[in-house]
Amino acid sequence: MAKVLRWDVMVGVLLVAVFAGGSFTSPGFATIGNLSFALGDLGEIALIALTMTMLVVAAEVDLSVASVLGLSSALVGALWDGGMAIETIIPLVVLVGALCGLVNGLLVTKLGLPSLAVTIGTLALYRGLAYVVLGDKAVAQFPREFTALAVDDVPGTFIPYPVALFVLLAVVVAIVLHATGFGRSLFAIGAQEQAAFFAGIRVKRIKLLLFVLSGTVAAFAGVVFTLRYGSARADNGMGIELAVIAAVLLGGVDFDGGKGTLGGVIAGVLLIGLLRNLLMLNDVSTEIQSIVTGLLLIISVLTPRLITALKPALSRRRTSTDQVGPESALKGSP
């Protein structure tokens, strides 16, 4: 019973339902070409969602990811245009992403600022830097061997390379998050930072690492994005931080931290992507598409809370002497 009520499981069920429904109603949906495209189109969002999941589990958030992606894209363009080798550009740009993440992390951990505020600031800052780097130019003509890596499918499958990379990384993150001490400490930090600190978890260092990772992955996603579209621009990826966070929340990760599964997030990413694809195939207008995604997001945040609110009420009816649960008592303390 409790298992079925878990939101991440419900998202998985919903995903299967959308897929099955789509296959029956829309002839163009369950084709290799379409699925390969739909998956590839989710590549960057899925990659960034991995690190975002860890951050949100630890009760932090990084809103600057899309701007780091844009800055990375602008840098790729400017350096490529300047004649630098792409093999040098990619690690360099990823390093810049790590620095961006480091700045976020230091502002949060050293100065104790809330990450929501810090990363709203750097969201504007990094996007601004992207425009400084490339202006409103677009740089194209990247080498085919490299754009192929971002577009083509792994031979013999319909999985594009970036998605294959995502699958590998997802396995790593799933193991780290759900089967190691480090992963458990993220949940501990998210549930009760003070308690985690007193339990000997190096809260600040871990958070700093998470932000650096987030910037690194976002910058790498910027490289993928640039090569996939074959066009480097400062406005690339504008606004995808919202898609990432939507997928994370839809996947059942608690925005207050401490709860969530990576499986849920992956189901969330796929659900948003496939639903959008399906709506488009049926000529549903953009406005309705965003209304559907928005409603889905609200439901996903609301439902788990309703469930938790209902659970004690249900059990209280059985044992009327029950006190306030230990969890809510803990949440009240600083």
> How far is CA 317 from each of CA 170, 235, 312, rounded to the nearest angstrom?
42, 55, 8
Least distance from C-beta 106 to other proteins, angstroms?
9
Least distance from C-beta 38 to other proteins, angstroms?
8
Exactly one of 37, 158, 197, 255 binds other proteins (CB under 8 A); which one?
37
Q: Which is nearer to other proteins, 97 or 251 (CB)?
A: 97
Residue count at the site for other proteins (CB under 8 A)?
A: 58
* Residue 292 interacting with other proteins (CB under 8 A): no
Q: For residue 230, count other CB atoms closer than 10 A to its CB.
A: 16
Distance CA 229, CA 69 (A): 13
Q: Which is nearer to other proteins, 115 or 192 (CB)?
A: 115
* Residue 117 interacting with other proteins (CB under 8 A): no
User: Which of 94-121 are b and which e, b meaning 16 or more Cβ less than 10 Å from the residue's Cβ?
Assistant: bebbbebbbbbbbbbbeeeeebeebbeb
Q: Can you give the length of the chain in residues?
A: 334
* Residue 80 interacting with other proteins (CB under 8 A): yes
Distance CA 196, CA 182 (A): 12
DSSP run (H or E) holding 232: none
What 3-state class would DSSP assign to 180?
A: coil
* Residue 269 in tokens: 């990413």
* Residue 62 in tokens: 């990084």
What type of residue sits at position 115? Answer: S
Exactly one of 16, 95, 117, 306 binds other proteins (CB under 8 A); which one?
95
Least distance from C-beta 140 to other proteins, angstroms?
4
Residues that bind other proteins (CB under 8 A): 28-29, 31, 33-34, 37-38, 41, 80-81, 83-88, 90-92, 94-95, 98, 102, 135-136, 138, 140-141, 143-147, 151, 205, 208-209, 212, 216, 225, 229-231, 233, 235-239, 276-277, 280-281, 283, 285-287, 290
